[in-house]
A and B are shown apart, each in its own frame.
Chain A
Amino acid sequence: MHRILSRQQLSENVYRLRVEAPLIAKARKPGQFVIVQVDTDFGERIPLTIADANPAEGSITLIFQAVGATTMNLARLQEGENIAAILGPLGKATHIEKFGRVVCVGGGIGVAPLFPIAQALKNAGNHLTVIIGARTKELVILEDEMRTIADDLVLVTDDGSYGRKALVTEPLKELCESVDRKPDLAVAIGPPIMMKFAAATTLPYNVRTMVSLNTIMVDGTGMCGGCRVTVGGETKFVCVDGPEFDGHKVDFNNMMKRLQSYKPQEDEARHTCLIDAQADRLADAQVNV
């Protein structure tokens, strides 16, 4: 059981939980993730990235978007309540060294797993440019945190409600084209389609680009193979070989289709969850009256 020490809503569907997990807090490195289960009887196991950790306090920070049944249930847990099971840290840690100029590209919720990686890269002495992209202003997260570590920060929104009206690929391309600011490494984390186009943007400029994949998983230890992706023509398991891969080699199209494997079932489960959440709100409202 893992007690929730604090709970914050960052945007409409995005939540930040600080959770007791002393062993994971001590062992985790940037780039790693956990498998979370809200109830261990009939609950689903879902992978979530570790956004931050405090080994002294024995806590880890999870940032997630309530988009499916399990994340919606997770979002309904309050401070002081418990998460039934957290397994981790899983996956390989990001390879951190001094590359020179590094650009970290985060889209939407992807900014959360990007933050510890950007922080570690900065601490290793790299020049750090951060590009944060979101659909609209309300969905921008961790801007302040990123500002504390970035040498440069570019903000873009799809609708132009905040920062530049652009996709992340625009400022990324400009960087790649520039003579004196061309990155030695790009790290792109966000929706699969964003990572796909970020990798396609850097490819002609030969800028090495790491992406962090979040696929369907059950165990997270290499046992089920549900997370497999094609990387450079070979099958890799995201949970043990990743989650980070060379973005220029990932078959994003196949990965995106595999992510839709359970769409009908997920839609149905989400519908049930929305009804439950409405019932909750209704109950709260009645208590307040």
Chain B
Amino acid sequence: MNHVHVTPDELKSQARATLSALEAAAQNGDALKARDRIALPQQDMPAQDPMVRSCNMFEVTYGYFEEQARVEADRCLQCKNAPCIAGCPVAIDIPGFIAKIAEGDYAGSLAIIRESSLLPSICGRVCPQEVQCQKHCTVGKSLKDQSKSVSIGRLERFVADWDAGMKGLSDLAPEDENGNALPPSAVSGLVAAAGGKIPPVKPETGKKVAVIGSGPASITVAADVRREGHAVTIFEAFHKPGGVMIYGIPEFRLPKKIVADEIHTLERMGVEIRTNFLVGRTRTLGQIMTEDGYDAAFIGAGAGLPRFLNIEGENLVGVFSANEFLTRSNLMKAYDRKRAATPLSQPKKVAVFGGGNVAMDAARTAVRIGAEEVSVVYRRTRTEMPARVEEVDHAEEEGVLFHFLRSPVRIIGDENDRVVAIETLDYELGEPDDSGRRRPVPIPGSERTMKVDTVIVSIGNDSNPLLVSTTPELEVNRRGNIVADEHGRTSMDRVFAGGDIVLGAATVILAMGEGRKAAAEINRMLSGE
């Protein structure tokens, strides 16, 4: 695929021209018809030049300029049946918030989103919109190309960033030391300094709720439960709260200060955050519930147990789980070689196994720390990749190579147990499997070797058994996920669970949705006492 980089300035002036034409037409009293809306150009996401961003950690995308957001909002047909809402895991009133953008009422737009979603600046960036809301969009259907749907996620991000104080900040035009343009989120201190309003908190009820983990599900529960006046303590094993949004998703995809701002909002609401506290080891859940006097607990500990392929050579030096590679780079800031104490390998030729968002994050991090050649090895095709389309496109623009229909058989080491190559087998697609995706079938005799010095295994996570193994009351399924009903209730009295530890590795928005339901049930339970 050939990617042509259009500069943010060009995108802005194109949008301005389109918007002027629309305003002129409106002054003539010409109302936009559905046909006109569908004909409006879809607004591309402004992004850093791939040549520049592949050498920095700043956010890849800028977010829409205001002109772009207005044009994109005008593409929405305001369908009465709103098929997009059905595709949203938390049922945001999508046509509603888009209509407000079209009117220029961004605060009103954000208020509509916030009725259903707590983390729009995050979800706008990391949700897989193309398989959720945008999959059902009538505009995409009319154009017979779902990638041409209304860019709902980008609009969501626009209003969230606008609220966080980034409105018009593209005009500040931050630059790197070589004079290259950077996205507005690169302006330091911006989001966290913005502060903003905090949700109102009801008078103290005297009830205490423990929240285990501090990722998206836990943040949601903490906020929703605290709003009702219950005391909330978040227990986080790492030294920084934010869960996968801090240790897993890289800065270039989700700036850490956006996550820090959400955490800061919780603190301002009075939520206590205890870092370096591993429930199951520092205290057991049983002790927290009986001895420490908590009235309820929510487990949102995530799916932190990396899967390996169990192939020969997987314990060679130079083989990492994506979790390790990304945690070193993100949480421990090892990409900042001058300041960070945590070492990161200096790979030259990298193979990443897997086709999800984490695989893309790992591959693109490898590019940024100076790897010469980064290859993604995936046993199905581009169509079946679970990663967001935008991440795959971005990875490709940054020079990541893709080897589809290929799967590793073994990893080859030298006499020092250091990785020198991988051996792979080619695949073809057969009949659909349980997931509905066509099952990859190996082609006998198609072995080939590829020279690499680093392998990053990114084929998913299982539930971390640590908490469950020290909490016999908790029922788990055969995959080790905690069993919870539709309200998040577990088999243990007053204990709820949600997010990846229930769903298996999933998405931020699903975790948030689960957190919402569990929080509502916790609040209902505590208010009845």
Residues on A lying within 8 angstroms of B by beta carbon are: 23-24, 27, 37, 40-45, 69-70, 73, 84-90, 218-219, 221-226, 228-230, 235, 240, 251, 253-254, 257-258, 260-262, 265-266, 269
Q: How far is the CB of A166 from chain B (nearest CB, A)?
A: 31
Q: A70's contact among B281, B327, B341, by CB below 8 Å, is which?
A: B341
User: Is B464 within 8 A of A269, CB to CB?
Assistant: no
Tell me, yes or no, whether B314 is within 8 Å of chain A by CB.
yes
Q: Closest B residue to A27 by CB, please name it.
A: B282
Contacts of B341 in A (CB 8 A): 42-44, 69-70, 73, 269
Tell which of A44, A229, A254 touches B342, judged by Cβ atoms closer than 8 Å. A44
Q: Is the CB–CB distance between B306 and A224 below 8 Å?
A: yes
B416 touches A257 (CB 8 A): yes
Give the B interface residue count (CB, 8 A): 44
Secondary structure class of chain A's binding surface, majority of residues: mixed
Query: Considering the complex of A and B, which 3 residue pairs feature the smallest CB-CB distances, nearest first?
Result: A265-B343, A224-B324, A223-B304
Contact for B317 among A27, A219, A240, A257, CB less than 8 A: A257
B:201-248 near A, CB below 8 Å:
237-240, 247
B308 close to A235 (CB less than 8 A): yes
A258 touching B417 in the complex, CB below 8 Å, given contacts A42-B340, A85-B276, A218-B328: yes
Shortest CB distance B484–A (Å): 21
User: Given contacts A24-B282, A27-B282, A262-B343, are A221 and B327 in contact (CB under 8 A)?
Assistant: no
B490 on interface, CB distance cutoff 8 Å: no
With A218-B332, A225-B306, A235-B308 given, name 12 new contacts (CB 8 A): A23-B277, A44-B340, A224-B324, A228-B315, A235-B310, A254-B315, A257-B317, A257-B418, A258-B417, A260-B317, A262-B343, A265-B344
Q: Are A42 and B339 in contact (CB under 8 A)?
A: yes
Q: Map CB proximity to A onto B409-427 as digits: 1 under 8 Å, 0 otherwise.
A: 0000000111000000000
Residues of B contacting A223 in the complex (Cβ-Cβ under 8 angstroms): 247, 304-306, 323, 327, 464
- Asked if B323 contacts A221 (CB within 8 A), the reply is no
Residue of A nearest to B324 (CB): A224
**Contact residues of B between 338 and 394, Cβ < 8 Å to A:** 339-345
Asked if B64 lies at the interface with its beta carbon under 8 angstroms from chain A, I say no
Q: CA A40 – CA B324 in complex, angstroms?
A: 18
Residues of B within 8 A of A258 (CB): 315, 317, 417
Cβ distance B307 to chain A, nearest Cβ, rounded Å: 9
Question: In whole angstroms, what is the CA distance A258 to B419 when docked?
Answer: 11
Residues of A within 8 A of B320 (CB): 225-226
Q: Is A42 a contact of B336 with CB atoms below 8 Å?
A: yes
B160 to chain A, nearest CB (A): 27
5 A–B contacts from the bound complex (CB under 8 Å): A42-B339, A43-B342, A225-B321, A230-B315, A262-B343
Query: Is there a chain A Cβ closer than 8 Å to B253's Cβ?
Result: no
B278 contacts A224, CB within 8 Å?
Answer: no
CB of B275 within 8 A of chain A? yes
Q: Which B residues between 279 and 319 are near A, CB-CB below 8 angstroms?
A: 281-283, 304-306, 308, 310, 314-318
Of the listed residues B305, B310, B327, B341, the one surrounded by the most CB atoms of chain A closer than 10 A to its CB is: B341
State in angstroms the CA–CA spacing of A23 and B288 once bound together.
12
A68 to B407, CA, bound (A): 38
Whether A261 lies near B239 (C-beta < 8 A) is no
Which of chain A's residues have a CB closer than 8 A to the CB of B321? 224-226
Instruction: Determine whether the beta carbon of B304 is less than 8 Å from that of A222.
Output: yes
**Segment 458-512 of B: residues with Cβ below 8 Å from A:** 464-466
B333 at the interface (CB under 8 A from A): yes
A257 to B282 CA separation, bound complex (whole angstroms):
32
| Complex CA distance for A254 and B304, rounded to whole angstroms | 25
Report the minimum CB–CB distance from A256 to chain B (whole Å). Answer: 9
Most buried by A among B282, B344, B345, B416: B282
- In the bound complex, CA of A251 to CA of B417 (Å): 12
**Cross-chain contact A261 with B317 (CB below 8 angstroms):** yes
- In the complex, what distance in Å separates the CA atom of A89 from the CA atom of B281? 6
Contact of A269 with B343 at beta-carbon distance under 8 Å, contacts A23-B282, A88-B281, A221-B278 already known: yes
Contact pattern, B 150-187, Cβ under 8 Å of A = 1, otherwise 0: 00000000000000000000000000000000000000
What is the interface of chain B, defined by CB distance below 8 A to chain A? 237-240, 247, 275-278, 281-283, 304-306, 308, 310, 314-318, 320-321, 323-324, 327-328, 332-333, 336, 339-345, 416-418, 464-466
Q: Which residues of B contact A218 (CB under 8 A)?
A: 324, 327-328, 332, 342
Bound complex: CA A235 to CA B321 (Å): 13
- Contact between B343 and A229, CB atoms less than 8 A apart: no
B277 contacts across to A, CB distance below 8 A: 23, 87
- Residue of chain B at shortest CB distance from A234: B310
In the bound assembly, the distance between CA atoms of A38 and B332 in angstroms comes to 13
Instruction: Evaluate contact between A225 and B308: CB separation under 8 angstroms.
Output: yes
A41 to B306, CA, bound (A): 25
**What residues on B are CB-neighbors of A228 within 8 Å?**
315
Q: Are A226 and B324 within 8 A (Cβ)?
A: yes
Q: How far is the CB of A264 from chain B (nearest CB, A)?
A: 8
**How near does chain B come to A137, taking the closest CB pair, in angstroms?**
33
Report the separation of the CA atoms of residues A44 and B345 in the bound assembly, to the nearest whole angstrom. Answer: 15
Interface core residue of B283, B306, B344 (most chain A CB under 10 Å): B306
Q: Contacts A85-B276, A224-B327, A258-B315: A40 and B239 contacting too (C-beta < 8 A)?
A: yes
- Minimal beta-carbon separation of A268 from chain B (angstroms): 9
Q: In the assembled complex, which residues on chain A have CB atoms less than 8 Å from the CB atom of B310?
A: 235
Q: Give min CB distance, B38 to chain A, whole Å.
A: 46
Contacts of A85 in B (CB 8 A): 239, 275-276
A218 to B277, CA, bound (A): 15
What's the nearest-Cβ distance from chain A to residue B465, in Å? 8
With A and B bound together, what is the CA distance between A37 and B465 in angstroms?
24
B101 to chain A, nearest CB (A): 38
User: B333's closest neighbor in chain A, by CB?
Assistant: A42
Residues of A within 8 A of B327 (CB): 218-219, 223-224
User: Which of B336, B340, B343, B464 is close to A222, meaning CB atoms less than 8 Å apart?
Assistant: B464
Interface-centre pick from B238, B247, B275, B281 (highest chain A CB count, 10 A): B281
Name the distance in Å between A245's Cβ and chain B's nearest Cβ.
Answer: 14
Q: How far is the CB of B18 from chain A (nearest CB, A)?
A: 45
Check B417 against A257 for contact (C-beta < 8 Å).
yes
Are A87 and B237 interface neighbours, CB within 8 A? yes
B342 partner residues in chain A, CB cutoff 8 A = 43-45, 218
Chain A: minimal CB distance from B237 (Å): 5
Contact of B282 with A254 in the complex, beta carbons under 8 Å: no
Cα distance A23–B282 when bound, in Å? 6
Could you tell me if A261 and B315 are in contact, using CB atoms closer than 8 angstroms?
no
- Shortest Cβ distance from B239 into chain A, in angstroms? 4
A247 to B240, CA, bound (A): 36
Bound form: Cα–Cα A234–B320 in Å: 17
